[in-house]
Amino acid sequence: MATLDMDDFLERFARRAKAVKERGIPPLEGEARKQFIEAAEQDYLDYTLVSSAAWEVDGTELVLRIPLSR
């Protein structure tokens, strides 16, 4: 079974957020283009939120604390 390295886990999310931010938009038109952009924006938000989390173990639960302001 793999072990969880939380610092590495959060860094992977930071790298994913950066990759989403830097990737181009494929040659899509109309509704497909709109959906791609919306999905990329949501991915970026999700990855950024997780990568900014502080973490702790509380009993048998992993707790992520995500700041709501920057």
Residue 54 clears pLDDT 70, i.e. is over it: yes
- Report angle CA 18, 49, 57 to the nearest 5 degrees: 120
Residue 70 clears pLDDT 70, i.e. is over it: no
pLDDT bin (cut points 50, 70, 90) of residue 69 is confident
Q: What are 67's two structure tokens?
A: 């700041």
- Do residues 33 and 25 make contact, with C-beta atoms less than 8 angstroms apart? yes
How far, rounded to the nearest angstrom, does the alpha carbon of residue 9 sit from its chain's CA centroid? 11
pLDDT bin (cut points 50, 70, 90) of residue 60 is very high
Q: pLDDT tens across 3-51, in order?
A: 889 999 999 999 999 999 999 999 999 999 999 999 999 999 999 999 9
pLDDT bin (cut points 50, 70, 90) of residue 1 is low
